[in-house]
Chain A
């Protein structure tokens, strides 16, 4: 009563609090946190049809809680004609939690579909709310998880490629014709037009009048009919033989519109106009180039490639696709799977091409992938890790090896040319040491498993994640089952492998959140060595102990976890941790293409609050996996 201001704000804050208490998660929120929220809200009004939050904004300025009205959002995937239903939000629902958490723009516009009042928490207060309310934090992160799951569910392999294609096709024509058009006036002589078309290497000449409007178009196609066969006088003005009044599209039209027009009218060139003036020409080829970067198209390019040159294009397309998919927020699991699948196709095609050059068809051989490729976890920049296995029966393997080696070496060189650098440790099929018969591979693994030498163990670890990639898979399968039985029956080896998996501890600090490195990489964490590898090594131990044959880390965790009766949520959160680290690595590789060493490094201070929190949680999951192994093996 003595402080008039306090008395007055209370009336409104009480009303707001009362409102919030009617809805989850606010109903369960801690009293003090709820009061903090209520005391920091504004009230915004959006008439029907207003876009409240737009993907064009860097990140939402506010957290909106709908007080009255309805807001609609079309889930990301459906934006370009998918079949996802728009989601309607009503009183008490809030948006966009995930965009605020991740400090990014929303994926799709939030539009008021009725006159709407929204309580609004300024984005700057959002972290403090998370801080003050464990209940809200739980809600927000669960929200994030459910969003991640949703995006994973929707972005299955085929969807992901379609989404990439569709997004490209929704680009405006303005962005496609940035080059500017080569034009001429209607009175320009035909001969000069032809010369200019040849000199600028263009397929069409746009004829514009003084005002810059499209008067006509003349394409290379027309040369045959209208110039050569008609024996047209090259001094005549181009206006005599051009196609007058061509169909045009506005700059705001999409690539999709242009593709439709091209398909319907059977034309190859469309002038693009901005306020009546021609700004460029979009061609069938431009559109084709857009569509090219999709999983299906890359597969086709690979299948059609007759030479290594063709495959080099496909390899760079794979990288472009990976970039674009990562940019669209495709989950790391899908992304690494897509990359691995396409790389597999590429390696197979290289093998097919080289097979024609070398007479090895009579030998039962199989190309093996090791390491990340063997685990289906390839990221963007990976060097080669491969080998050959062949069936020599009871005969001497050496003559067969002599025939296979030149072939394998050629393949290694080709892969290098396609952007998969040669392995520094020389773990490649072209190395006689790793081009072995089934019998030799068996002996090799036997000695690694029975040997107590630490280097032997290291070898076993690298080779353990092998999988057959191309050729006759029978010898590879036999090797796998031999190995599985051997390792499962050898507790000393398992013990050693477990010890190896626990050698590196997650970089979690007692005082500060993270333990970072010194020296050259001061302040950073190696996401591969002290991150992803903890999961990979741990999953390998579990797979080995339970006889799981799969090489993929997530699959190993899921299948082995099931056999070990681990709760499904626990398995899921361990995999989530692994994939978050993989996603961070991918992001880093995109950013620092050149510096391989730096690509796997991250400075936790550079991350946003939520990513930092998830990173910490991911390391905790690694620690959980490690302590499980430590318990099982009494380490």
Chain B
């Protein structure tokens, strides 16, 4: 039925608290492009899903971690499991380790997403292949909240090659291996987020050293790199 809801712009019923929380999120000021990277707060995001199809698979969990002052706040970890109508397949569970019981016992999607928005505030969201994370979160938000949150997304899959043009590396694993970043538990949303956050630290340090010092600069080199990779 999901496709029907999407098609007809079905607006979910939200409680007053939830509507207020959403309004509050939208009312928060977003960091201006001139914000220096050295002190900007980023939220690194990693999602776990029922599969890799961005149009049909469901968002199961969001893991997030704050990077601020170019430092990973290790105790800032955020993870939320969204309540699933039915557990994902066995093969899928083996990937992320979120078992059926946990999936069924997760938070209502609207509540879970509002938790996430409250956590992220308006910080730029960062991921590796962030387009996927973005589509999954936006889709879930449209279904559960009736709207997609206004957020700046940054994709390390483009940013990393932009600041390290000499390294022809593909995929998060290749980058983390190259920089010798340890991943304690691959496909745990938070452990993945930590590895991604460390890659972000390396990218930020390199960017700042080469004169890319503001959020606007970073967005510019990201979109340049996107354009390049399309050629």
Contact = CB atoms under 8 A, between A and B. Distances in A.
Interface of A: 1, 4-5, 7-9, 11-16, 18, 39-47, 50, 68, 115, 117, 119-120
Contact of B194 (A1, A12, A46): A12
Interface string B61-101: 00101000011111101111100000000000000000000
B117 interface: no
Interface residues of B, number: 35
B225 interface: no
A15 B193 CA distance: 13
15 contacts: A1-B102, A1-B105, A4-B80, A4-B115, A8-B190, A11-B77, A12-B77, A14-B184, A15-B185, A15-B194, A18-B184, A43-B74, A45-B71, A45-B201, A115-B179
Contact of A5 (B78, B189, B201): B78
Given A1-B105, A4-B81, A5-B79, A42 B190 contact: no
Given A8-B63, A11-B184, A47-B209, A120 B71 contact: yes
B71 A44 contact: yes
B78 A39 contact: no
B75 A47 contact: no
Contact of B75 (A9, A15, A50): A9
B156 to A, nearest CB: 14
B190 A12 contact: yes
Chain B, interface SS category:
mixed
Contact of B77 (A9, A115, A117): A9
A4 B107 contact: yes
A7 B79 contact: yes
B71 A115 contact: no
Contacts of B204: 45
Nearest to B179: A115
B202 interface: yes
A45 B75 contact: no
A45 B72 CA distance: 9
A43 B72 contact: yes
Contact of A41 (B74, B79, B197, B206): B74
Given A15-B185, A42-B72, A68-B180, 8 more contacts: A4-B107, A11-B79, A11-B184, A12-B74, A12-B75, A12-B184, A119-B74, A120-B71
Closest 7 pairs between A and B when the two form their complex, measured CB to CB: A8-B79, A45-B201, A43-B72, A15-B184, A9-B77, A8-B77, A42-B71
Contacts of A15: 184-185, 191, 194
B191 A11 contact: yes
A43 B202 CA distance: 12
Nearest to A7: B79
A7 B105 CA distance: 14
Chain B CB count within 10 A is highest, among A1, A15, A39, for: A15
B70 A39 contact: no
A12 B206 CA distance: 25
Contacts of B169: none
Nearest to B209: A47
B40 interface: no
B203 to A, nearest CB: 10
Interface string B41-59: 0000000000000000000
Given A5-B78, A8-B78, A45 B191 contact: no
A16 B74 contact: yes
Nearest to A8: B79
A16 B182 CA distance: 12
B190 to A, nearest CB: 5
B73 A42 contact: yes
